Amino acid sequence: MKSKSSRRKFLQAGLSLPAAGFAISPISAQAALSLQAAFQEAKSQPKRSGYASSGNEKTDSKFEKYIARDLWHKSYPQDFHPQVTAPVLGYRMNKDECVTCATFGFSTVPITKAFLMVSKPHVHDWDEFLMFLSGDIANQLTLGGEVEFSLGDSENNVEKFVFTKPTIVHLTKGIWHGPCNFKRVDDPAKPVLFVNLMFPPPGGMQQQKKKQ
């Protein structure tokens, strides 16, 4: 008896229960217009503050300052080494982009063929980490080439080192480094990744360029 009563309530509500399931009766024209108006109103509402964007656009969140979205460093490859033909990912200090990254910069350069990147020793007034890594994501333990890199106390007193496996060099402030020579790349499809992490003071890189 209870099941018959429940079925009667469904039928009174405008629902039918065929043997294979149930179907909702068509809504009235007035209800349809009300529903359409509700959707249009919701669509026209501005985004609430702090909502994440659907793509890579900046938001109005107070945390946006911690995010650097434009990671394409414009000097690559136009003002960089012509031997570097693959896309380069990079970030340089920009007061309008990720204000908390003001003392940080990096670049990831895929080296697809042998060439001399830096011909003579030079020095910086900040710390750097130079990483020579594998572009073969399936085999990170091999470098896929050979790199010659020099370190020293002065421009005229440097020692040469040879890397054939993934290597990280920590350049403390004031240490001379270079030349940097990518002697061999085994497979252009699996390049040697040259990653440079820099920690200059605000304006440090610009001041160094003026000196040079």
pLDDT in tens, 26-66: 555 665 565 555 445 544 544 444 434 456 788 889 998 88
Quote the pLDDT of residue 190: 96
The backbone torsions φ and ψ at residue 37, rounded to the nearest 5 degrees and listed phi first, read -65, -35
Does residue 93 contact residue 123 with C-beta atoms inside 8 Å?
Answer: no
Model confidence at 184, pLDDT cuts 50, 70, 90, reads very high
What are the residues whose beta carbons fall under 8 Å from the beta carbon of 177, sequence distance 6 or more?
121, 122, 123, 130, 149, 150, 151, 152, 158, 169, 171
pTM attached to this predicted model: 0.67
Distance between first and last Cα of the chain:
94
Query: Which DSSP state fits 101?
Result: G
What pLDDT digit, counting tens, does each position of 59-103 carry? Answer: 889 998 888 877 776 555 566 788 888 888 887 665 556 666 667
Domains, the chain, ordered by start: 2-44 (no CATH), 68-211 (2.60.120.10)
